[in-house]
């Protein structure tokens, strides 16, 4: 009986050792598969981005000293259609939007290589000036501000923008687009070139958006090709979990 017990224990130990060795052999393959899947998901399906500024307050938080929102940006939808007015999009800033951008990569060649690999699988942010704004007008439309109530106009029709809580003062008869001291809301008219978008931050009084870049070669608009995807969800911090509203803002 003692001999059988010893034999059984030895057999269990051999099986356990075999399982551990098998797992160790398979581990590099599992890691490689996980990295490839992460790369494919981040590149073609969705990626998490950090909101770095307060230009989209209160829709998205990115105020100085606070915990910036992390948002899921979905990349599939715009492969089958273009962004529409009301969509919140993440895009690569054109050259004129990236004047003050500083690379996040190390000067050390080895470390920079590791950072680039990490970026491919989503462990490190991409080294590009990624921005988030709301689409206000698309190619062929003319956008300007303001009507007599201080609203943005697209093709002469006022927009319904329920997400705006912070904007420049506009008081009929006191501060408008016709008074000696013009309202900070006033701009345009600008006709958006085909294949481009006019974008603005929800925090209208603190957003370096299309209005700020209206003197550049694209009149402040951004190429649709620069759009990475549509902002769909807030995933961090947990207190702000939820979807990102993209209402129809243009009146029929």
DSSP 12: H
Determine whether 133 is an active site residue. yes
Containing H/E element for 110? helix 109-120
pLDDT, one tens digit per residue, over 207-235 is: 999 999 999 999 999 999 999 999 999 99
The 10s digit of each residue's pLDDT in 16-58 is 555 555 656 776 777 777 666 766 677 667 788 888 889 999 9
Residue 195 Rama label (left phi>0; alpha psi -120 to 50; beta): left
Confidence of residue 120 (pLDDT cuts 50, 70, 90): low
- Judge residue 26's burial from the number of C-beta atoms within 10 Å of its C-beta, 0-12 exposed, 13-18 middle, 19 or more buried: exposed
Q: Which of 55, 119, 207, 246 is catalytic?
A: 55
Provide the CA 206 distance to its chain's centre, in angstroms.
18
Q: What pairing do the DSSP bridges indicate for beta strands 242-243 and 70-74?
A: unpaired
Could you give phi then psi for residue 55, rounded to 5 degrees? Answer: -70, -15
**Using an 8 Å Cβ cutoff, are 187 and 142 in contact?**
no
Q: Active-site residue among 53, 75, 119, 133? A: 133
How far apart are alpha carbons 231 and 87 in whole angstroms? Answer: 8
């Amino acid at each position: 009986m003692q001999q059988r017990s010893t034999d059984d224990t030895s057999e269990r130990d051999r099986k356990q050792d075999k399982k551990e060795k098998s797992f160790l052999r398979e581990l590099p393959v599992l890691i490689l598969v996980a990295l490839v899947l992460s790369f494919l998901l981040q590149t073609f399906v969705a990626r998490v981005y950090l909101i770095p500024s307060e230009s989209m307050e209160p829709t998205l938080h990115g105020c100085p000293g606070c915990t910036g929102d992390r948002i899921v940006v979905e990349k599939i939808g715009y492969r089958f259609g273009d962004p529409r007015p009301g969509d919140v999009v993440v895009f690569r800033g054109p050259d004129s939007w990236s004047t003050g951008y500083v690379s996040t990569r190390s000067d050390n060649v080895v470390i920079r290589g590791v950072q680039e690999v990490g970026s491919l699988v989503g462990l490190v942010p991409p080294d590009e000036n990624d921005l988030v704004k709301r689409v206000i007008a698309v190619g062929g439309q003319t956008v300007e501000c303001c009507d007599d109530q201080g609203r943005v106009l697209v093709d002469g029709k006022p927009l319904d923008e329920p997400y705006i809580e912070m904007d420049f003062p506009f008081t009929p008869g006191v501060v408008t687009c016709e008074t000696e001291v013009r309202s900070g809301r006033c701009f345009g008219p600008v006709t958006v070139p085909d294949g481009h978008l006019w974008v603005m931050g929800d925090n209208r009084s603190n957003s370096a958006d299309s209005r700020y870049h209206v003197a550049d070669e694209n009149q402040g608009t951004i190429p649709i090709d620069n759009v990475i995807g549509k902002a769909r969800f807030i995933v961090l911090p947990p207190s702000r979990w939820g979807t990102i509203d993209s209402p129809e803002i243009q009146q029929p």
